[in-house]
Each structure stands twice: as C-alpha cells, then as structure tokens.
Structure 1
Amino acid sequence: MADYTIGGVLSADQKQQFEQDGFLVVKGLFREEVAEIAGEFMRLHAGGPIPNCFHPVPEEQAKGDALKLYPRMMHPHRVNELAMKYMIHPKVMNVLADLFGKEPLAAQSMFYFKPPGAKGQALHQDQFYLKMDPGTCIAAWTAVDAADEENGGLVIVPKTNRFEVECPHAADPKVSFTREEVDVPAGYTAVPVNMEAGDVLFFNGSVIHGSFPNRSKDRFRRAFICHYADESTERIAKYYNPLYRADGSAVIVAVNEDGGPCGTEYAFTGAH
C-alpha cells in the first residue's frame, strides 16, 4: 500500500458536500507546487511536439487558432516524470481515498494551456469517455493559474452527480474546441467555479461541466487535470490502461468493449 490514508483527510462537511453536489474545491492544495508544474509544462511546450502527447504547430500554420499553438497534452505521465509525480501525489491521493472510501487508481493525466483567445469546452460528462465499470471516475482539476469567467474558468452543474450518461448533440464550433455537448437539465443551473492557482477541484464523473472561452488579453488559464478510478473498477475504456496506485505500481483492468449508451463513445480518443 502507498502513502495515503482512508478517512481523516477531509472534514465531514467536505465529504457531505461532495456527496450532495458532486464536487469539492480544496483550497490551496498545490499552492506551493504550481510554479514547478507550470515551469515543467512550459519547458515541454518549448521543446516541441511529443508523439502521442501533443502536437503544437508554428504560428504561420495556426492561422490565429490559439489552441493549435498551445494544444492540450494528453497522458503526459507516460512521457514525463513530473507529470507522473503529481498525478499520484499523496496530497491528491489522500483526498481521493477519502472520497472513494477505497484505494484510488490514477487513470489519466492532461495539461491544458488555454492561452488568451482560446475556445472553451462544451458541457460534458467525463464518464462518457472513461466508461468505468462499475461506478464512475473522479477528476482532480488543479488550477495552475487563477481561473475565472474572463480567462476561461470552469462551469459546473451542481447535483448532476447522480445522473446517468446523457447522450450529447453537436457543440457550437465557434466557442468549443470539442465536438459534442450535453444540455443543462431542466431545473438545474451551470455556475462558474472561480479558483486561485493551487486550488484543486474534485468532481464526480457524471457531473456536467465545461469551460468558458478565454476572453482575456494576456492571461493563460493553465490546468493540470487527472482522472481516477477506485480499486473496485473492473473495466475501463481502452485508452486508459495501465492504471497506477499511489506508489507508482501499475494495475491492468479489462477493456470496456461496450459501445456505451450513446453509441458514439469510440469515435473519440477516449480522452477529452
């Protein structure tokens, strides 16, 4: 077993909020570490493309598309030690153990640069992509910069954590870099989650969420985002093996061959 504990990390009120609303912000969890995280990923970007991770293009080819200059990095833990370090960092794994009530397993890492002018991300549910069975995932979304409504912060629909996967429709490509979108259910409201650098947002894989475009003139909205299963997970979408314990040891689970309730899940790379 690795360096994490089940119970005692979060207060009873924090665990109750997560259970009721589907999300929880842990203020300042990585306040001291965000400079190291930012510096390493900016170094990786300056080094150019990394196969199966990210593929930035020169400015003349981007034609004004900020996300072509600064595309998201997918699964950087597979190519970078620091990304692996923070994906399975005890600070995060301790919180996850409390939320799951079981041993957490890391499934995916991502890094979003989101420079000024970048599009947002249409409302979606993470479980649509990860297809964990049984249960659902939990995301840990670390704000590397302050994130708010101006520079492309997150919006979340509280209390949608008990929803099944909703089948999406086409998103507006003028404001979203992803192609599909789910609607806010009747009687629910999407609200902004403003965060300071170093805050970490934990949310359930069924929670509907997305982000604003970055309308600021000079502010990045960088974020390090990871997804987690728990030890009871038997199957997951094919892009996520192996999973990792907090001590870095690998765990292989069966591939979820089910096409999913919407029939379109395999049209994607399995990561969003």
Structure 2
Amino acid sequence: MSLTGEQKQQFERDGFLAIRGLFSPAEIEEIRGTFMAMAKDGPVPGLSDVPKAREGAPLSSNDPLQRYPRMMHPHKHPDKPVGPLAMRYMRDPRLRPILAELFGESPFAVQSMFYFKPPGARGQDLHQDNFYLRVKPGTCMAAWVAVDDADAGNGGMMCVPETAALDVACPEKADPALFFTTEHVEPPPGLTPQMMELKAGDVLFFNGSVIHGSTPNTSPDRFRRSLIFHYVPASTVEMSHYYEALSFDGEKQDIATNLDGGPCGTTQDLPTGPH
C-alpha cells in the first residue's frame, strides 16, 4: 500500500501513524494462539525476558508478568513454533513498502518482541526506542502489531505528538510500582501522551525519537498482547550490539555495532509494595 498525503504529513509532524486492519482476524488468531501455546507452561528459558536473579525461582502470584514475561527476539528461535512465525511477520511484504516510505529508503529488520500484558500487569513508562537501539546517523522505527484491542482499560499504547525530531533524552527513574521497566522520559512542556485506541490487526508505526509508553493493565480479564518489530534504515552505519540486521529478503547486513544500548526497556526488579 502507499500512504496518503495526510498520513505522510501526520508522520512528519508527530512521528507515529496507525494503519488500521493491516493484518486479518485469522492472522491475528494465528499469532495469538502460537504465542499463548508457547507460554502455557510459564517462562521459556532463553526466550522469555526473565532477570538472571529470578531464573529458576518459583512463580509468584503477586506479579502477573512473572507468569507472562515478554519474549525477546522470537525470530531467532527457529526450533520453536514462534520462531518461523515471528520471522515471517517481521519480514511481511505489507510492512516493507510502508517502512520504506516512512524511512525514505529501504528498511532492515533488527528485532522482534512479544508482550502478553495480562490483567494486573504493570505498564512500560514513557521512553524513546533509540535510547536502546542507538542507531546512527538516523533513528529506528517500530511496527507495533495489536494482537488484542488496546485501549485505556487494558494498558494501551500512548504516544506523545510532535516528538518526532527530539534528541534522545537521558531518562529519569520510573516508578517500579506502576512500570516494569526502569526508564522514564518526561515529555516537553505542553505536550501530553495520546492514547492510541488500537484494534486487533492494526499496526502502529513510530520512530525512535517518539516518546511513548503504556499504562498498567487495570482490566479484570483482558490481555493486551502485541507483536513488535524494530527496523533501521539502510543508511545505518552503527547500532547497539544487541541487534542484528536482516533485509526483507533474509540476508544478513554488516552494520558496525557499539557497546551502548540493549533490550528495549530495562526490566525492573520486583517492587516491594503492592501494585
């Protein structure tokens, strides 16, 4: 698909754009079912984002993210059902032309993630993705696939308009009672987060400077699952060592790495109080 003039203007101004219904209900059901089956027995070693200090520890009922931590780089696990699925959707031909138009050049895929965000889960505080990916000279781009309807009730995605061209800020400390990650970026004065109100199958694109995050899932029974991919432009000359670049044709790209950055959002230790 090609973007309309209005969509391009919105992205240039705000740095984010939602494409509605890009994936079909059947495709979303395939994604949801495959990842839920993978997580049926709890965290998966080497795939689930479990802090080293908690590996092998018994699950606690106090934090639903212990039972359903996010899965990192599932596309790098071809031996598991989620591996080929994540690789296929990360390089989906519907994403390629949109990313190319938003970047103004060819995109390379560098990361996949799956967030379960069960009822009662903490959110992810406001942050900027390029703080972690450290893409130079440009910035990265996310394609955030809603696997459930995502709104204020179940901890939906928020983006701060008009933050597309900001420099990457030095984060403050996030509140561990509300957020499972450690970093917080305060929006500039006069700018406030906008709840995106996404339906399952919608894809939210946003660049690495956009301040974004999510609130806790306060619903009694609704997951807020999402499949997330990150991309870099073909002109990238350096990025964090945590990422590896692939073309949409599956060819590895030789991009210099630095020792900065890391996973997209640094996981907190468990909070000591209720949340």
Please give the root-mean-square deviation of Cα atoms over the aligned residues, in Å. Answer: 1.7
Relative to structure 1, the CA distance from residue 55 to residue 62 in structure 2 (aligned partners, 3 Å threshold; closer, same or farther) is: farther
Query: Which of residues 140, 143, 150 in structure 2 aligns to 1:140?
Result: 143
Aligned letter for 1:21?
D
> Is the counterpart of residue 9 in structure 1 residue 32 in structure 2?
no
| TM-score relative to the length of structure 1 | 0.89
Aligned to 1:3: none
Deviations 1:83-127 (CA, angstroms, capped at 9, x unpaired): 000011111112101111211000100000000000001100000
Alpha-carbon offset, residue 185 of structure 1: 1.0
> Is the counterpart of residue 35 in structure 1 residue 29 in structure 2?
yes
Following the alignment from structure 2 to structure 1, what is the Cα–Cα distance between the partners of residues 87 and 219?
A: 31
Aligned letter for 1:77?
H
Aligned to 2:63: 65
Aligned to 1:20: 13
> Is the counterpart of residue 158 in structure 1 residue 152 in structure 2?
no
SS at match of 1:123: coil
SS at match of 2:126: strand
Following the alignment from structure 1 to structure 2, what is the Cα–Cα distance between the partners of residues 142 and 197?
A: 8
Following the alignment from structure 2 to structure 1, what is the Cα–Cα distance between the partners of residues 4 and 131?
A: 30
Query: Which of residues 185, 189, 193 in structure 1 aligns to 2:192?
Result: 189
Aligned to 1:74: 72
Alpha-carbon offset, residue 188 of structure 1: 0.8
Aligned to 2:258: 256
- In structure 1, stretches of 5+ residues that fail to align are 1-7, 260-264
Deviations 1:211-230 (CA, angstroms, capped at 9, x unpaired): 01000010000000111001
- In structure 2, stretches of 5+ residues that fail to align are 78-82, 266-275
Aligned to 2:122: 119
Following the alignment from structure 1 to structure 2, what is the Cα–Cα distance between the partners of residues 168 and 227?
A: 20
Relative to structure 1, the CA distance from residue 12 to residue 248 in structure 2 (aligned partners, 3 Å threshold; closer, same or farther) is: same
SS at match of 1:94: helix
Relative to structure 1, the CA distance from residue 75 to residue 234 in structure 2 (aligned partners, 3 Å threshold; closer, same or farther) is: same
| TM-score relative to the length of structure 2 | 0.88
Contact 2:22 2:201 in 1 (8 A): yes
Following the alignment from structure 1 to structure 2, what is the Cα–Cα distance between the partners of residues 271 and 240?
A: 10
Aligned to 2:269: none
Following the alignment from structure 2 to structure 1, what is the Cα–Cα distance between the partners of residues 11 and 229?
A: 17
SS at match of 1:41: helix
Aligned to 2:40: 46
Alpha-carbon offset, residue 46 of structure 1: 2.0
Contact 2:141 2:231 in 1 (8 A): yes
Contact 2:42 2:67 in 1 (8 A): no
Instruction: Judge which range, 230-239 or 245-254, deviates more.
Output: 245-254
Following the alignment from structure 2 to structure 1, what is the Cα–Cα distance between the partners of residues 41 and 29?
A: 18
> Is the counterpart of residue 97 in structure 1 residue 90 in structure 2?
no
Aligned letter for 2:11?
F
Following the alignment from structure 2 to structure 1, what is the Cα–Cα distance between the partners of residues 246 and 210?
A: 23
**What percent identity do the matched residue pairs reach?**
51
> Is the counterpart of residue 205 in structure 1 residue 199 in structure 2?
no
Deviations 1:113-158 (CA, angstroms, capped at 9, x unpaired): 0000000011000000000011001100010000000101011100
Relative to structure 1, the CA distance from residue 59 to residue 144 in structure 2 (aligned partners, 3 Å threshold; closer, same or farther) is: farther
Count of aligned positions:
255
Instruction: Judge which range, 94-103 or 41-50, deviates more.
Output: 41-50
Contact 2:43 2:68 in 1 (8 A): no
Aligned to 1:247: 249
Alpha-carbon offset, residue 271 of structure 1: 2.6
